[in-house]
Amino acid sequence: MTSYLRSWFPSFPTEIKEEQPKIEITEQADDDSGSETEREDAAPAFPSLNSAQRVKSTPTTASQRTDAELMPPPPLPSARTPSFRMMHPSSSLSVQATTKPPVKPKGRNKVALAPGHSPLDWAALKSSGVDLRGVPTLLRVTPSVLKQHRHRDDAWTAINGKVYNLTPYLPFHPGGEKELMRVAGRDGTKLFLLTHSWVNVDFMLDGSMVGFLVPEPSS
């Protein structure tokens, strides 16, 4: 029996460790003392007593062990403890999972711009020195004059009191030409702000400003 235990627990009892190189001799001694039946029933040592595997797996001191041997493996994902979010669902630190798809603001639809008409291309065109106004000086534009400029090749609009020539910007507008043409020939401030109040129109269209919107002269 002792030999059987030793075959499974080579470090038990401790003095066996010192005798490890002579383990076969010890086993032999036991066999001699045991009965015939005992010898037949004895389970074969696995791994075998002098195997490299057994020697490697029984380091004598902690410093000889590798990190992997000293640390238990991490738990499986399913066995992990509940996350902070699960334990504190009402905490402001928790990120609430949502099954709802992101809501797209109504009426906002970006179009695919033709090659060479990205926002960067517009910025490059603005700073190229090309005339985007189509007028020699800034004008005072009345609503009736503004109304005359409502066609694709000559489209003006007024935003926040400033009048812009939309025609050069049409193919660059991320919302598409059709949407932009809705404000051609009229004051587009309301629709512009409804659609994208965050867009800096002053900056976007500074190069194509034609003047200021003024009231009709009183007769």
- For ligand HEM, the binding residues (CB under 6 A) are 108-110, 157, 159, 173-175, 179-180, 182-183, 188, 191-192, 195-196, 199, 201, 204-205
The answer to whether the beta carbons of residues 144 and 216 sit under 8 Å apart is yes
Output the residue with the shortest Cβ distance to ligand HEM: 175
Least distance in angstroms from the C-beta of 188 to ligand HEM: 5
Least distance in angstroms from the C-beta of 137 to ligand HEM: 22
What separation in angstroms does the CA of 58 have from each of 54, 63, 64, 75?
A: 6, 12, 10, 25
Q: Retrieve residue 166's tokens.
A: 């939309």
Residue nearer to ligand HEM on the CB measure, 16 or 123: 123
C-alpha 37/C-alpha 185 separation (Å) is 111
DSSP of 123-179, one letter per residue? HHHHTTT---S-SSS-EEE-HHHHHT-EETTEEEEEETTEEEE-GGGGGG-TT-HHH
Least distance in angstroms from the C-beta of 77 to ligand HEM: 38
Residue nearer to ligand HEM on the CB measure, 9 or 212: 212
Residue nearer to ligand HEM on the CB measure, 13 or 107: 107
Residue nearer to ligand HEM on the CB measure, 132 or 180: 180
Which helix or strand (DSSP H or E) is residue 33 part of?
Answer: helix 23-33
Least distance in angstroms from the C-beta of 218 to ligand HEM: 29
